[in-house]
Amino acid sequence: MLQSPQLEFLMEAHNGLSARIVEETGFRGIWASGLSISASLGVRDNNEASWTQILETVEFMSDATSIPILLDGDTGFGNFNNVRRLVRKLEQRGIAAVCIEDKLFPKSNSFIRGERQPLADVEEFCGKIKAVKDAQIDPDFCIVARLEAFIAGWGLEEMLRRAAAYHAAGADALLVHSRLSTPDQVLAFSRAWENRCPLVIVPTMYYSTPAEVFEQAKISMLIWANHNVRAAIDAMQRVSRTVFQERSLRNVEDRIVPVREVFRLQNADELIAAEERYLPRADSPPRAIILAASQGAELGDLTHLRPKTMVPIHGQPLLHRLAAQFRAERIKEVVVIRGFARDQVHAPDARFIDNEEYEGTGELLSLSKAAGLLEGALLVSFGDILFRQYILRNLLLDPGDFTLVVDAAWQQRAQPRNFPDHIAASRPYSLRYGGEEAELCDIGAHLNPSQVHGEWIGLLKTSSRGSQALRAALEALAPRPDFKTLRFDDLFRHLLSARQPIRVLYITGHWLDVDNLDDLSAAHAFQSP
C-alpha cells in the first residue's frame, strides 16, 4: 500500500471490534492509533499503557482482521533495543508495519503543547530505524519514520534534514505531521521532498482539505487517525445519559445496534458450526417420566388413601426421592403420571399428567397418556423403585438409543417374582466382558429360567431417536383390543420385532422395588434415614 501508485487510506481502530468494523467497511488497512488505544484503555497518550499492553491490543486487532495494520509505535518504547524487540513481537502477531516518531520517551500527543516537545537526536533516531530493518524477519515489514519537527515548531529546513537522514537509515516511508488547520506544511514538504520515498499524512487538523489535493501532491497514504474512538465516545455518552436520566431503555433500544449485530461481529455463527463439527453430539438433558398411577394394594392400610409412590421411606415419599435423584443429574423436567388418589400425589417442581383409567389397566396405557411428551431424550421410571445414584448416572452416560437397566443378580433378590420383566440378552453379565455391549433378545414371563439373564428394574433411557421408536411402537400397539392391559414387555417385544436395538445395561443389585410390606422394610434398610 505504501508503494502503490494511488493514494491509500488507513482508518483508525483501537481494539478487535473496531478493527473488524474498519475491515468490513472496505478499508484496505488499519491505523492502530496510540491516542485511540490509550483512550479506550482509559489512560493518557503518554506511554501510560505499557508496550506489552499495546501489543496485546494489536494482537486482538490482528486476530479479528486480515488487512494490514500499521501500529503507532510512539517513540518505540525505549531505545533501539526496545524497538527491535517490539518489531519481533509485532511480526509474530501479524502486524504489517510500525510507525516511530522522533521524540523522547515518554512521549506526549502531538496536539498537546506540541511546541514544547523535545525532538530526538537525529543519530539516535536513525539508529532505531536501522535496528528495525536489521531485526525484521519478514521482508515486507515496514517502518514509517514520523517527523515531528513541524509540531515542535521547526521549519521546513529542519524537516528536510531529518527526512533525508531517516530515509538514508532505511525508513520505508515518512510520516509528515502538522498541527496547522491548513495543509500548507505537508504540501510544502512534499514539494521539496520530490518523491524520494512514500509520504504519509494525518489530516486531523486540516480535515477540510479534499483528498484530491493530496492525490495531486503524490502523497502515498492518508490516515484518519482517531475518528472511530471519537464516534464511540459520542455514542456512549448519548446512550449513557439517556438511560441514566430516563431510567429506561425504551428510548435507546431502537437507536443502538441489536444484540444480534454484536454476535455477527463476533462471528458467533462460526462457533456454532464448529461445535457441530468438534463437540460430541449432545441430546438436550432428558425429560424424566415417572409412572405413578398404581395403588399398590399389597401394602394394605399404607396405600388405602394414597398410591404407593407416596409411601414414605424415612419420612420421604418414594416419588420425592426419585425426583430428587433425577434433579441431582440436572434433569429439569420431571413428569409424573398419576392415577389412584391423584390428589395425594405431589412433588416439588414436577409436572403432572392424569390417567383416569388406572384401575385394572397396564403400564402402556399410563405411558400413552403422556404421548405428547415422548420426544427428545427420555428417562422412564416406575414410581415404586429405589436405586443407587450411580445406576442413573451410568444410564445417562450410555450411548445407546434405547437402554434398559437390568439386574443380573436377579436370583439373589429376596423373592424373584417380576416374571414379565425377565430378559434374555445377547450375552450374560460377566466381569470379563466389561466393555462389551449386551443387547436385549427377549423379555417376558414366557422365558424359561435357564434362559434368563436378568430382570429389568423399571428404568430405561431413550435418545431422541429412541423416543421416536417408542412413540411409534405405542401407536402401533394402541389399536389392539387388549392395549389397556399391555405392559412394557409387550412394548419391548414389539420394538425387537421392528428391529429396534435395545441395549442392556447390567447392574448387580443396588436397587429394589416396593410391592409389599417386606419390600418396605427392605427399603428402609436400603435407604439411610
Nearer to ligand SPV, 112 or 273 (CB): 112
Do the beta carbons of residue 83 and residue 132 sit within 8 Å? yes
How many other CB atoms are there within 10 angstroms of residue 24's CB atom? 12
Stretch that binds ligand SPV, among 33-41, 163-171, 182-190, 371-379 (CB under 6 A): 33-41
Strands 438-443 and 287-292 come out as: unpaired
For the bound state, the minimum distance from the C-beta of residue 22 to ligand SPV, rounded and expressed in Å, comes to 14
* Of the residues 15, 18, 33, 40, which one makes contact with ligand SPV according to CB under 6 A: 33
Residue 339 has phi, psi (to 5 degrees) of -145, -85
CA within 13 Å, CB half, 497:
11
Query: What, of Mg ion, ligand SPV, none, does residue 204 touch, CB below 5 to 8 Å by kind?
Result: ligand SPV
Count of CB atoms situated within 10 Å of the CB of 215:
12
* Residue 220 interacting entry, from Mg ion, ligand SPV, none, C-beta within 5 to 8 Å by type: none
198 counts as binding Mg ion under rule CB under 5 A: no
Provide, rounded to whole angstroms, the least separation between the CB of residue 267 and ligand SPV.
Answer: 27
Stretch near Mg ion under the rule CB under 5 A, chosen from 6-14, 70-78, 85-93, 159-167: 70-78
> Could you say whether residue 102 binds Mg ion (CB under 5 A)?
no
* 34 is a site residue for Mg ion (CB under 5 A): yes
Rg of the chain on CA atoms, in Å? 39
| Piece of 2-10, 68-76, 300-308, 341-349 that binds Mg ion (CB under 5 A) | 68-76
User: Is residue 75 near ligand SPV by the rule CB under 6 A?
Assistant: no
Q: Considering the complex, what minimum distance in angstroms separates the CB of residue 202 from ligand SPV?
A: 5
Partner interacting with residue 366 (select from ligand SPV, Mg ion, none; CB below 5-8 Å by kind): none
CA 388 and chain centroid, separation: 34
For ligand SPV, the binding residue among 72, 363, 384, 421 (CB under 6 A) is: 72
Of 224 and 382, nearer to ligand SPV (C-beta) is 224
Query: In the complex, what is the shortest distance from the CB of residue 99 to ligand SPV, in angstroms, rounded to a whole number?
Result: 8
Chain-centroid distance, C-alpha 33: 30
CB atoms < 10 A from the CB of 277, how many? Answer: 6
Please state the length of the chain: 529
**Shortest distance, CB of residue 34 to Mg ion, whole angstroms?**
3
Give the separation between CA 364 and CA 176, rounded to whole angstroms. Answer: 85
Please, which residue, 144 or 495, has the CB nearer to Mg ion?
Answer: 144
Q: Residue 226: name its binding partner from ligand SPV, Mg ion, none (Cβ under 5 to 8 Å by kind).
A: ligand SPV
Q: Would you count residue 204 as binding ligand SPV (CB under 6 A)?
A: yes
Considering the rule CB under 6 A, would residue 109 count as an interface residue with ligand SPV?
A: yes
226 sits near ligand SPV (criterion: CB under 6 A): yes
Q: Which of 45, 72, 401, 515 is catalytic?
A: 45
Q: Is 72 in the site for Mg ion (CB under 5 A)?
A: yes
Q: Is 8 in the site for Mg ion (CB under 5 A)?
A: no
Which of 29, 34, 73, 296 is in the footprint of ligand SPV by CB under 6 A?
34
Q: Where are the alpha helices (DSSP H) in 389-463?
A: 389-397
The least distance separating Mg ion from the CB of residue 59, rounded to whole angstroms, comes to 18
Residue nearer to Mg ion on the CB measure, 19 or 35? 35
For 88, residues 6+ apart whose C-beta sits below 8 A from its C-beta are 135, 137
Q: What is the DSSP string of 331-393?
A: ---EEEEE-TTGGG---TT-EEEE-TT-TT--HHHHHHTTGGG--SSEEEEETTEEE-HHHHH
Residue 36: closest CA among 201, 233, 216: 233
Q: Which of 431, 452, 432, 433 is nearest to 441 (CA)?
A: 452
Size of the site for ligand SPV (CB under 6 A): 11
What is the pairing mode between strands 334-338 and 422-425?
Answer: unpaired
Point out which residues pair with 440 in neighbouring strands.
425
Stretch that binds ligand SPV, among 34-42, 190-198, 271-279, 331-339 (CB under 6 A): 34-42
Find out whether 325 and 414 touch, Cβ atoms under 8 Å. no
Shortest distance in whole angstroms from residue 286 CB to ligand SPV: 56
Report how far residue 141's alpha carbon sits from residue 27's, in angstroms, rounded to the nearest whole number: 19
Residue closer to ligand SPV, measured from CB, 45 or 407: 45
Cell of 34: 496510540
45 as an active site residue: the answer is: yes
Q: How far is the CB of 274 from Mg ion (least distance, A)?
A: 37
State residue 251 phi and psi, 5-degree precision. -90, 5
Residues that bind Mg ion (CB under 5 A): 34-35, 72
Catalytic residue list: 45
Residues that bind ligand SPV (CB under 6 A): 33-36, 72, 109-110, 202, 204, 225-226
